[in-house]
Structure 1
Amino acid sequence: MQIQGQAALVTGGGSGLGEATARELARLGAKVAILDVNIDGANQVAADIGGIAIQCDVTSPDSVQSAIAQAAAAHGPARILMQIAGIGSAKRVIGKDGNAAPLEDFVRVINVNLVGTYNVARLFAAASAKLEALEDGERGVMVLTASVAAFDGQVGQQAYSASKAGVAGMTLPMARDLAQHGIRVCTIAPGLFATPLMKTLPEPVQQSLAASIPFPQRLGKPQEFAQLATHIVTNGHLNGEVIRLDGALRMAPR
């Protein structure tokens, strides 16, 4: 699918990997709607790229349905979905106090990262399936975001790893399911990237993490994530695939 002139939705587009992806889509000529709970960040990015910002809770069917409708009213029906919204967590199963980890933390991460991803995907797919088919019968493309933690999660990452493994696990069946509607589905599993969250860590910690990456021995650039995400859109034979973007990194236990 050609990106020029298409309407695109980016969840989590107010910062980090989502922001970089929104900016790259706009550079390539897409009409971008940024869906984020952080409306201030979304507004700032939207103003920079000539897009629109919509406050959206990915876990809420009503919120997502409303956001899709608002974006369609401004830009026309979206054929591109970049799902990058997500949260992290680090809780050992048994804490230093000897107590079990709070169940609410696990549920919260699963709800945002996995249930939220599926919620947006199903509503986007239902809208896209009604559109006229383009070349090769294509109607839409969605890119989901997992993590290398889906495959080699570290100590304390039970909730995060489970949520991202779920995203990776539903990629192929969702692509097969939506093939009849001409909608492709791929997932990117990023490693260690120089996001605003990463930059809050002390510089020696960032350097130590970068040194664990075989090559190139540096943190990933958000623009590199965005370049892969937009390539998936334009490469019509990419479907049902989970792509690691990590410089050959394999995470140690801790």
Structure 2
Amino acid sequence: MKPSNRTFIISGGASGLALAAARNLHSAGAYVSLLDLNTENGATIVKELGDRAKFFEVDVSDSESIAKAVQGTVEWVKQTGKEIGGVIAGAGVGLPGLMIDKNNEPIPISSIDFVLNINLRGTLDLIRQALPYMTTNKPDGLDGERGVLIMVASSAAFDGQMGQVAYAASKGAVASLTLPLARDLSKHGIRAVTVAPALFESNMTKQMGKKVKQSLENAMEFPKRAGQPDEFARIVREAVENPMLNGTVLRLDGAMRMPARL
């Protein structure tokens, strides 16, 4: 599916890897609907990208917040005539914490809920609310494709470290739901693809200490460095354009397998 003259709903789209994907698709002629909590960044990005970009303040753990953004995007589509061709569910958080701490206290359930509600529930909620406006698209090309859903997991879905139980659970669930989601939507001509990056330069990694980041880079095989946002964006673009990518999880990790502890 060609990105040009189609609208993509991108959560977490005002920063980090999701923003890199938005810029890449926009450069190919796409319209981008950016969903994020950071209104300042959102306004700056829309000013940069121009008329083919729209920003909506959204908390993806809140269904009503998502609904307002989806409806706002639908109204925008009515004005532009550029149908919703895809969703990129890029909003995510990491909140490390051992299941039981040194004082024999279990991790607060609020911490677990926070991670799951954004990384997993928020992903599914955005997708389910956008789908009715994709299934009615005019079938495109030889295969009759109507759209694509791109989700973001993590290498932690497969080899999470100590303190990553909630995060790994959320990302592992996203990886696991990819195939059944593709099967659910096959009759509609809508694909589902998940990208699972390892260590990438992002807002999350900016919060890491130098020693922690170096330890993670040491676990990379080749190249021995954090991935760049553009490298993530390129695989998202390929997932949009390549119709044979469906129901699969693409590891983007430089052969990294994370150790149990740093």
Alignment deviations for residues 136-155 of structure 1 (CA, whole Å, 9 cap, x no partner): 11111010000010110100
CA distance in 2, matches of 1:175, 1:201: 35
User: What is the aligned partner in structure 1 of residue 87 from structure 2?
Assistant: 81
Q: CA deviation at 1:101?
A: 1.0
User: What is the aligned partner in structure 1 of residue 100 from structure 2?
Assistant: 94
Alignment deviations for residues 176-221 of structure 1 (CA, whole Å, 9 cap, x no partner): 0000111100000000001133134344443332222100111000
Letter in 1 for 2:85: R
Q: CA deviation at 1:97?
A: 1.7
CA distance in 1, matches of 2:253, 2:41: 26
Letter in 2 for 1:232: A
1:159/1:204 CA distance change after superposition, 3 Å: closer
User: How large is the RMSD of aligned CA atoms in angstroms?
Assistant: 1.3
Q: Give the alignment's TM-score, normalised by structure 2.
A: 0.93
Number of paired residues?
254
User: What is the aligned partner in structure 2 of residue 5 from structure 1?
Assistant: 5
- Residue 192 of structure 1: which of 186, 196, 199 is its match? 199
Alignment of 1:167-246 (within 5 A): 167-246=174-253
1:57 paired to 2:63? no
Unaligned segments of structure 1, at least 5 residues: none
Q: Give the alignment's TM-score, normalised by structure 1.
A: 0.96
CA distance in 1, matches of 2:96, 2:255: 23
1:69 paired to 2:44? no
User: What is the aligned partner in structure 1 of residue 23 from structure 2?
Assistant: 23
1:104 paired to 2:110? yes
Letter in 2 for 1:11: S
Helix, strand or coil at the partner of 1:35: strand
- Residue 160 of structure 2: which of 146, 153, 162 is its match? 153
Q: CA deviation at 1:93?
A: 1.0
Letter in 2 for 1:236: P
CA distance in 2, matches of 1:204, 1:253: 16
Helix, strand or coil at the partner of 2:41: helix
- Residue 147 of structure 2: which of 140, 143, 152 is its match? 140
Helix, strand or coil at the partner of 1:96: coil
CA distance in 2, matches of 1:191, 1:201: 14
CA distance in 2, matches of 1:60, 1:205: 32
Could you list the structure 1 runs, at least 4 aligned residues long, displaced by more than 6 angstroms after superposition: none
User: Does the aligned pair in 2 maintain the 1:199–1:206 contact within 8 Å?
Assistant: no
Which deviates the most, 59-68 or 139-148?
59-68
Q: CA deviation at 1:99?
A: 0.9
Helix, strand or coil at the partner of 1:137: coil
User: What is the aligned partner in structure 2 of residue 45 from structure 1?
Assistant: 45
1:118 paired to 2:124? yes
CA distance in 2, matches of 1:105, 1:208: 25
